[in-house]
Amino acid sequence: MRYWLMKSEPSVFTIADLEKTPNQTVDWIPTKGIRNYQARNFMRDDMSLGDLAFFYQSNCELPGIVGIMKITKLAYPDPLQFVKGNKYYDSKSTKDNPRWLNVDVTLVKKLPLIELKKLRNFSELKDMMILRKGNRLSITPVSQNEWEFINTI
C-alpha cells in the first residue's frame, strides 16, 4: 500500500462536496483536471486500489489536511481532455493515446483541519513533499512514516 496527498481548492471542490456525492465516491476531476505530467505519472504508474490519500485543501486562507480518501478506481482517461471548448481540452490527446488520466476516490473519513503551518512544526515531516519550497504538485506521495505520524496529530 502507498500513501498520497491530493489537493483541491475549496472554491472548486471540498471535503463536504465529497461527503455529499453518491457512495461518497468521485472521479478526481472535481479538481478540474490534472495537467501536470508528474502528477499524472503518479496516478498511472504508482497508485493502486486501496491506497490511501489525504484530502488537502489548498489555495485558501487555512490550507491543510481535512480528510482521508481511498483509491477505488485505477487510472483511466480524463474525459475533459476530449471536450472541445472545455478549459482542459487537449487537441493533442486522442482516445487511442490519451495524455491525461484520472482516478476515483472514496471518502474514508473527514478530519479536523490539520493546518499547513502546524505540519511545518514537526521535524518528523521535514522531508514531506508538500512542505518543500516551490512544490505545486496536486498529487504527491507520502511516506509510511509521514502517514503514520500525521495520523497521530
Give me 136's grid cell. Answer: 505545486
Query: 132 and 5 in contact (C-beta within 8 Å)?
Result: no
pLDDT, position 129: 96
pLDDT, position 53: 98
Give me 94's grid cell. Answer: 486522442
137, burial (CB in 10 Å: exposed 0-12, middle 13-18, buried 19+)? middle
Domains annotated on the chain, with CATH: 3-150 (3.10.590.10)
pLDDT, position 135: 85
Residues 6+ apart with CB under 8 A from 22: none
The Cα–Cα gap between 3 and 147 comes to 7
Find, among 70, 139, 126, 134, the residue nearest to 149 by Cα: 126
pLDDT, position 31: 57
The reported pTM is 0.94
Per-residue pLDDT tens digits for 89-140: 999 999 999 999 999 999 999 999 999 999 999 999 999 999 998 888 899 9
HEC profile of the chain: CCEEEEEECCCCCCHHHHHHCHHHEEECHHHCCCCCHHHHHHHHHHCCCCCEEEEEECCCCCCEEEEEEEEEEEEEECHHHHCCCCCCCCCCCCCCCCCCEEEEEEEEEEEEEEEHHHHCCCHHHCCCHHHCCCCCCCEEEECHHHHHHHCCC
Looking at the predicted structure, is the pLDDT value of residue 32 above 90? no
Per-residue pLDDT tens digits for 45-103: 999 999 999 999 999 999 999 999 999 999 999 998 999 998 889 999 999 999 999 99
Return phi, psi of residue 74, to 5°: -70, 170
pLDDT, position 136: 84
Looking at the predicted structure, is the pLDDT value of residue 145 above 90? yes
